Amino acid sequence: MQVTLKIRRFNSEKDSEPWWGEYKFEAEPTDRLLDALNHVKWYLDGTLTYRRSCAHGVCGSDAMLINGHNGLACKLLLKNLGNKITVEPMRGLRVVKDLLVDMESFFDKYKAIKPYLITESPEPEQERLQSIEDREKFDDTTKCILCGACTTSCPSFWANSEYLGPAAIVNAHRFIFDSRDEGKEERLAVLNAAEGVWRCRTIFNCVEACPRGINVTRAIGEVKKALLFRRP
Amino acid sequence: MNGAGRPRPQGGIDLLAWIFMRVSGVVLLFMVLVHLAIMHIINNIEVINYHFVAERYATPFWRTYDVVMLWLAFIHGLNGVRVMIDDYVSSRGWRVLSLASLYVLGFVFLVLGSLVVLTFNPAHPF
């Protein structure tokens, strides 16, 4: 099939304004969008810049705005995107070059919710055991690959870049609802602060954007409920 | 686990505001429906006059009803605007100015509205 890729280009060292690059070429309908981007970079314009690593929807490097929706370029087939495909960098983060955005602030927020096991009680002789039911409580939020698709689709985040954002809250949820973890209070305190979970306006863009199918808004709702019913 | 030695969590106002929005929203839904039914469906514009209001406000029930509805609806709306200012007004000066005027205007109108409902006296028409 004949495809036209319309890519929003910007080089923060050279350009004062972003511009649109159009690339027409022949591709297989079963090619992924990432294959098409590779085609542009390898054969048409080597200056095109984007992140990719595993190319199989696991590393979370190639999240971008595709035809107006956030998604992973390696998980979308050209036949499902149409002949004319618009590709832009994710919104709300500083563009370094073309589709590559500065993710530093995104990961700072991830670190702020302490994404590691916190324990105070003495170490058991063997593993910390967990029932199947207890594991089920945070199963959905373990699927996050930190691609940033949810946070950069969130209007609350666009309006206020200090907001922790859905991705950080999802990863907090993963530990708050883990029966082995004892750092719940510390994390809830971070999420209860002014730039925390209350900035969520239940818009559901994050749910639509998540390439892993995580019910992000539900997880945020569960964190809100945990704050509401917590005993100090 | 006890919270000893941990800093008290901040931002409690946002938690309260969040619950308030949900509770007031549900309560208002029913109160406003009843209000609309009485004022616009059961009674029409020809029936509603000074005498009608005076009769209604002779019982403390409808005064309480109207004051509660006024406060819930007004604070619900004020909080909605506060949240929008929080989201979209990032410069400090404009933020302080817009929040201050919101609170002042809100307070004035809330007091005025409550005064009208609570001090209405059919024996002494204006």
The ipTM estimated for the assembled molecules is: 0.75
Query: What's the pLDDT at B3?
Result: 41
Nearest residue in chain B measured CA to CA from A182 = B1
Residues of chain A with C-beta less than 8 angstroms from the C-beta of B9: 188-189, 192-193, 232
CA–CA dist A125, A194 (Å, integer) = 41
Nearest-CA neighbor of A69 among A229, A232, A213, A205? A205
Nearest to A189 among B7, B14, B17 (CB): B7
B15 contacts chain A (CB < 8 A) = yes
DSSP A63-121: EEEETTEEEEGGG-BGGGT-SEEEEEPPTTS-EEETTEE--HHHHHHHHHT--S----S
Give A197: exposed, middle or buried? Use CB within 10 Å, 0-12, 13-18, 19+.
Answer: buried
- Residue A177 tokens, joined: 């609802």
CA–CA dist A33, A78 (Å, integer) = 6
Q: What is the mean pLDDT of residues B3-16?
A: 61
B17 contacts chain A (CB < 8 A) = yes
Inspect the interface and report whether the beta carbons of A160 and B14 lie closer than 8 Å. Answer: no
Contact A37/A73 with Cβ under 8 angstroms? yes
Could you read off the pLDDT of A7-27 as tens digits, one per residue? 999 999 999 999 999 999 999
Mutation site for B-interface testing, chosen from A113, A176, A192, A223 by largest number of B Cβ within 10 Å: A192
Nearest to A192 among B11, B17, B87 (CB): B11
The pTM of the full predicted model, rounded to 2 decimals, is: 0.86
Instruction: Measure A206 CA to nearest chain B CA, in Å.
Output: 18
Residues within 8 A of A (CB atoms), B 58-87 only: 83, 86-87
Nearest residue in chain B measured CA to CA from A228 = B15
CA–CA dist B1, A49 (Å, integer) = 49
Could you read off the pLDDT of A70-121 as tens digits, one per residue? 999 999 999 999 999 999 999 999 999 999 999 999 999 999 999 999 999 9
Q: Among A138-142, B5-9, B100-104, which stretch is predicted with the lowest mean pLDDT?
A: B5-9
Q: How confident is the model at residue B9 (pLDDT cuts 50, 70, 90)?
A: very low
B22 contacts chain A (CB < 8 A) = no
Inspect the interface and report whether the beta carbons of A189 and B18 lie closer than 8 Å. Answer: no
Q: How many CB pairs under 8 A join A and B?
A: 48
Contact A2/A26 with Cβ under 8 angstroms? yes
User: Which residue's structure tokens are 């979370």?
Assistant: A60
